[in-house]
Structure 1
Amino acid sequence: MDAQDKGHQEFLEEISLLKKQISELEQFKAEHQRLDEALLEIETKYRFITENTADIIRILDMNQRCIYVSPSISRIRGFTVEEALNLTLDQDLPPESLRQIRSMTEEEMKLEASGTADPNRTRTLELEVYKKDGSLLWMEIKFTFSHNREGELTGILIVSRDINERKKAEQALRESEQALRTMFDNTYDAIFVHDLEGRVLDCNQKLQEIYGVTREQALSSTIIDDFSAPDNPLDSLAGWWNRVLEGEVITFEWKAKRPNDGSFFDVEVALKRIVLGSREVVLANVRDITRRKAAEAALMESEEKFRTLVENSFDAIFRIDRDHRYLYANPVVQKQSGIPPEAFIGKTFEDMGFPEALCSEWHESIEQIFTSGKMSRSEFQLPNGTWIDLFRIPEKDDTGKVKAIIATGRDITEHKQIESLWKILFQAAPLAMCVVDGDRVMIRVNDYNLPIFGYRPEELIGRSARLLYFSDEEYRAAGEALYAPDFTPREFRLKRKDGESVWVLMGRSYLNGTDPSGGSIIVSQDITARKTLEEQLRQAQKMEAIGQLAGGVAHDFNNILQAILGYTNIVLCSVDPDDRHYGKLKEVEKAGEKAAALTRQLLAFSRRQVLQLGPVDLNSTIEDLMKMLRRLLGENIELSILPGAALWKVNADRSQMDQVILNLCVNARDAMPDGGRLSIETQNIRLDYDYCANHDWAKPGRYVRMSITDSGCGMDPETMDKIFEPFFTTKEKWRGTGLGLATVYGIVRQHEGMIQVYSEIGKGSRFHVYLPVNESTEEEILTEEQVPPPGGHETILMAEDDEPLRFLTEEILKMAGYRVLAAVDGEDALRVYRDHAREVDLLLLDVIMPKKGGRSVYDEIRVVHPDIRCLFMSGYSEDAVHTNFVLEEGLKLIQKPFKSMDLLSMLRQELDRPQRNQ
């Protein structure tokens, strides 16, 4: 073959090869296209499955961001797909579920890092997740971890299934099992579980009540030997047992024995073979029938008594057959109808001569019971005027068919009269009464709704009780309370026709006696005035509590101030006025005196100041204060005094009355920064019982009323509620302590008086102070005694338990020239007195001391020395030397903190007082 043919042959082979390759390419293309179509079909199928699955499918990347979620999340959890894609784990899961997820993720990542993780692993958790509405949903969540070809973890496929109902079912199952166990242990019967050989496998707790042994004792006992009486037919028991093993249920009566005391009693035993779990057992129910046996024994006697009871019943009793003829009638029918009982037997209602209309009604009602088989009740009136409440009860045979009717008739003539009386009382009672149906619509109301709610009866009938409430919420809450099973009369706020509120005490009673479906009667008592009184009582209790606190603080603070002032006085007496420290010490003294004044205000508010009462003329008191008042008020306030004529004297402490007047005037001045008018008026006034009945704050009696009126800025109601509280003030911090009006309040109340405030914003204020009149026939005029010069040479027995104060007081007395016998407590004071009785000229006693108080020491010494002079010291002390903080006659008291000169002056006064036996 030449070169040309060879080249031609090669060309043909190349063409053939190309054709083959083209054919293979076309086949590859067709196969690729087929694979693409198959892949698309598979993708479509799986997307359809994913989009329509009942579970939620989610895909997370390794940053735990959601990159896909199936639409079923909207149906199951309420989120849209877009919302779910943006949820973080914190938003998706409650804390406990979030903790479990993170714990699982940490474990998986550790497995990945160690290379020991199974690439096809799946983890399943049961977790609670949030729904869109914030509620929680139980879900079973399966986590599958996906990897790329290199084996690297690329994401997590999560399939979540709603198991909320399953969880509820599991919980219900647990509760059911618990309930069954409770029923097992609390059934009326003792229950034994035996194996097929008769051994006890289990028993319930009831056997302890029936047999007197514990469950543990029963499990170790033998039924025949320990729980059975010796004369029981054991052969019969063996036969019964075999029949039970063959599948019969056997019930028999047995004489049982209590193992602990050997006593016998009757039981009924039921034996049944059952499968318990995977094991066949014999279940024995043992019921104590001792009472039943006694009841059976008594049944014959009861049946014998039956006729006696029926014959002597207060109700007429009939028995009627299918033809409406009387089979029986007891003697009471003659009392009600005037017809002897034997005349009824075998006759119908018509045969007895009753009116046709009454007979027709009777037959219709009787036939209805034979047809329906249900009891009926009705009321009717006999021709003689007697009202009968009639019950007709079906008597049925074993098949449930009515064979006769028992009718009982009760004479309710008196009840009908009472019902008529009730209608009268319904209108006459001073209470708002309302009958409502099952929907709380008013169907009957009495006339007393008008004064309480402002509605006439015709305005309420047919309307919902919602009309009387301020809001739907209050109406709903009242309904829940009224119709609660444990309802007792309660207080409710209702709305009058004019829109004002009224407080009522509301009670209810069901018309059918059982539930609200048949309607209710609602009774409302107006307690608005009582609520006002309760609020006043709460305010008074609050003030009393604050007073006790304030008094306690003042008492302890007085002892501290006594040391400060006392030592300051001693040092001042020993320092020359020209000394450079003298001025500083005077400032300390001034500060101590201000603090002492503050404690006196606290004591005044808390009503723990010791008062020295006597007849006081308020007109004279006000007149004596005029110069000071004009100086305090300033020139831009016009002061007018309106004294009452022939003003009665009040029983008061003159110094405390000064404090009341000054504090009220200063308060009025501060309410008029730009000037104004202030008036002080006094007058006699008598409060009678009628006035006090309409004014809760008032008490009957004769009073002097002092009225202080200003033209200042006035107060709103919220401010007036607090003005007498200590440290409450509307002024700037640097303008007072807030104790002025609190002091006034305390002084007035301690004097058994009353104080009332009337004020409006922009219209000024008026304070009325009522002080009780001095009813004493002898008017003791309080005159200020001349104070003798302090100091002396007498011997003073001083008892003070506080060591610094004892040392201080001893120094003050010694510096004044007195001889001092110091005692550390009451018993020590008595000991010192016994040793120096003839030398002691005066007792200086702290009221409250350990072991024995100052008053007790004084009383014991006075037994042997009746005229012993005594001066008491105290911050304050209830019922020690006074009653209700009014100083007892003949006793002298100096209140801490006191100045040295005040103590020495009072000592000198008492030492110079003539003794009664001289």
Structure 2
Amino acid sequence: MNEKEKNSAQLLAELEALRASEKNLSAVFDGLQDGVFIHSMDGTILDVNVKALQLFRMSKEQVIGRNIARDFFRPHNPLEKLSDIRSKLLIGETIGFQWVAKRAGEKSLFPVEILVRMIQRDSRDVVLTTVRDITRHKKKKIQLQQRRRQLALILDGNPIPTFVIDKNHHVILWNKACENLTGVSKTQVLSKPLDSRIFYPGQIRPVLANLVLEMDRQRIQELYKDKNIKASGFIPEAYEASDRLRIQGKVRDVYFLAARCRDADGEVIAAIETIQDISDRIRAEEALKANRKLLAEVTANIPGLVYQYSFSSLGNGRFTFISNGLRTMFQLSPRQVMRKPELFFLRLDAQVREQFQTFLQMPAPSGRLVEFEFSVESGATHKWYKNSALADVRSKGEILWNGMLTDITEMKRLESMKSDVEQMVRHDLKSPLMGIGGLSKLLLNEELSPRQREFVDAIYHSSIKLLHMINHSMALLKMEENSYILHPEEFDLVEMFRSLHEEFLPSADGKLLKFIHLLDGLPLSWEDTRHVQGERLLLESLFANLIQNAVEAAPEGSRITISIRSREHVHEVDIHNFGAIPESIRHNFFERYVTSGKKYGTGIGTYSAMLIAKTHQGDIRFTTSEQEGTHLIVTLPRSFAELD
């Protein structure tokens, strides 16, 4: 091959390479994701890529030769004045701006981002303009701005004082609550570094938000070590503290919490801090501590154990207070038992523990005093305790028990001793009394002078009466023990009241009292009859005690009314006098040893009356007032067969 042929072949190879290069360049040009226009300095479009055609919905033939500034963008755009920026383009600068594009033949407009630069093409200067549709970006930006405005409105309306600083430590939000707390308006602080003297008069120092923004843990500990500083247990990258500050000249107890704010990419962009005035809460807590201390001091001298137990609707129970008597009675620490209630309950027998749980978990307490006794074995000792508690139903179903445990070991010992003594006295008295009764009865069969017979007869009847009293006392003891076996017999109730009338008439005359007896609402005649079933001696004792009470309580010159009325299944006896039962004993009128204002009263009369009524499957109730006086109403079954 000669030189000419070699040159021709080389030229052909270069042309092929150039064609391939242009083909590759064209492929890259059309493959760009942004619209690209190549135009002259006067705006005439020389070339355009596929993306630009898609963006403006036109063909290449429709685009080539058009003016880019006039035909594709809103008027007064920078492309209309390329000659003004030619010098910048010639030195290689890229000019960028945002504008609004338009589609030929359409009224629709859309936001775009435009980049303009000078390039060489075919050995001459041309302009390359790239166009990017930023409609979605604009929408997102608008949405973000709206969300920021909404968030600003929410934070501004937040009742908790709140401020936000950006990454340059400038205040970008200062809500109304913050203005009210500090007395500093947002216009004084926005876009400026936060002035710490707002919170710390006379001190220029970082506040917690400044330190959290940089997460300067060392400085946080240095400045807030005595301010209850701690990392938040709920918010990541947050710290909380409390302090006593003077704000607007007023000393306030303040709780503050500061946290970092990150964007969607995880970059720290700000720090937010909330400030709460907790002065009222602190004062309430201090008052509560003082009250608890006072309560502990007061209950420390009470012989027993005072407690408060809370039982929630979720089934959880805990002691909210226990006095120091717990140490003396059970050798337990009140603080430990308040943390772990089971420590107390494990000291009790299983049966007692169940008894406690039954009453403490009562779903609907009656409002009455709940009392029960229990014993605890402790080594060689046997202790008796009495629990007394009242329930208070709170909101959301919480039941609060206020109670007291009393050591009744000594009382139990004395009761047992008293019972032993009573039984010994009864048995020791019966034998000689029976002997006296038997001997006096034998003497009555002998020839005696009238005066001797009168004395012996008195001895006989007195011994018989004493034997009846001892037997009655023994019967009451068995009734208390629920071991008494009733032997009912039919007898005339009217005849019994006639006997009682004769017995109490002298006492009534001494106070100028008048007895009135009624039968089914009409005046009673001693010739009337009303048969009942029961043990006459017991029922006579019951009514004698109640009539005795009425005689003692009735005002002088008044009347006592005894009304007998028979209903379908019961007899009802109403004993009325114009005296009132003292308020101090109304709640336990029928309990043992309860008496008031009687010089020689034993407090056993009404107690034994109720025992006898209950033994007869009956009851006693009363009404009393200063105006109406007192009604003691006894109900007894007409026959025991009707109740079986």
TM class, shorter-length: 0.3 to 0.5
Determine which structure has more spread, i.e. the larger CA radius of gyration: 2
